[in-house]
């Protein structure tokens, strides 16, 4: 699959290198490709070039940069946008969205792509390795297009996650609240980054 990663930071570079290892064709879209280490083996191009050459576009930028990043990506009609962002307040004390709304829906209002909310509910070290003693960490996702969600679940599975469909995109606020729980446990309750949510079934 041709995948553009917009934002080559903690989340973007972890997801991108994981998929590249699985044989996907990954291009990082960055603001200044010339500044990037020339030794890298993965494509590093402009945001527009990466997005336009790909079928799946991963949004992995800080929340205040979302609008600019999507504008820089150009027309994304017919593509899938995986929204990994969290609309966090700068001090990480909570979400910066009005009650009843979500970052995922805001992202969808800014693009004509099919948006799937995913990869926002856990820390990036779990994206590098979601295996806990043979059990796979759960990766919740939500969106309105069944084909986009099928492809998304496959990509999460490639990284080793147990993908779980959490319903339509209007449920994105639930995933963003779950992200707040993960962040609170990790940073304020002393659990660190080596834990993950897992849904048990019987």
Binding site for ligand NAP (CB under 6 A): 6-12, 30-31, 47, 60-63, 65, 68-69, 72, 84-86, 88, 120, 123-124
**Toward ligand NAP, which CB reaches closer, 71 or 199?**
71
Query: What is the token pair recorded at 93?
Result: 């004390």
| 94 φ, ψ (degrees, to nearest 5) | 170, -170
Q: How far is the CB of 194 from ligand NAP (least distance, A)?
A: 12
**Toward ligand NAP, which CB reaches closer, 11 or 80?**
11
Nearest residue relative to ligand NAP (C-beta):
9
Give burial (CB, 10 Å; 0-12/13-18/19+) of 160: middle
Q: How far is the CB of 29 from ligand NAP (least distance, A)?
A: 7
β-bridge pairing 43-46 and 25-30: parallel
Count of other CB atoms within 10 angstroms of residue 192: 11
Q: How far is the CB of 183 from ligand NAP (least distance, A)?
A: 8
Q: How far is the CB of 202 from ligand NAP (least distance, A)?
A: 29
Give the residue from 111, 142, 115, 137 showing the smallest Cα distance to 126. 137
């Amino acid at each position: 699959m041709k995948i553009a990663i917009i934002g080559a930071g903690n989340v973007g570079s972890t997801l991108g290198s994981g998929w590249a290892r699985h044989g996907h064709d990954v291009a990082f879209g960055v603001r200044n490709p010339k500044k990037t280490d020339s030794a890298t083996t993965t494509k590093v191009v402009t945001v527009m070039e990466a997005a336009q050459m790909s079928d799946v576009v991963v949004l992995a930028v800080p929340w205040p940069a979302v609008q600019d990043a999507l504008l820089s990506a150009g027309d994304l009609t017919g593509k899938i946008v995986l929204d990994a962002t969290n609309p966090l307040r700068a001090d990480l004390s909570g979400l910066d969205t009005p009650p009843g709304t979500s970052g995922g829906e805001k992202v969808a209002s800014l693009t004509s792509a099919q948006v799937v909310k995913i990869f926002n509910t856990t820390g990036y070290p779990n994206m590098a390795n979601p295996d806990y003693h043979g059990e796979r960490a759960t990766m919740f996702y939500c969106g309105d297009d069944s084909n986009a969600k099928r492809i998304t679940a496959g990509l999460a599975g490639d990284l080793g996650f147990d993908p779980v469909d959490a319903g339509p995109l209007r449920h994105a606020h639930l995933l963003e609240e779950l992200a707040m729980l993960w962040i609170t446990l990790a940073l304020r309750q002393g659990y660190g980054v080596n834990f993950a949510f897992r849904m048990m079934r019987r």
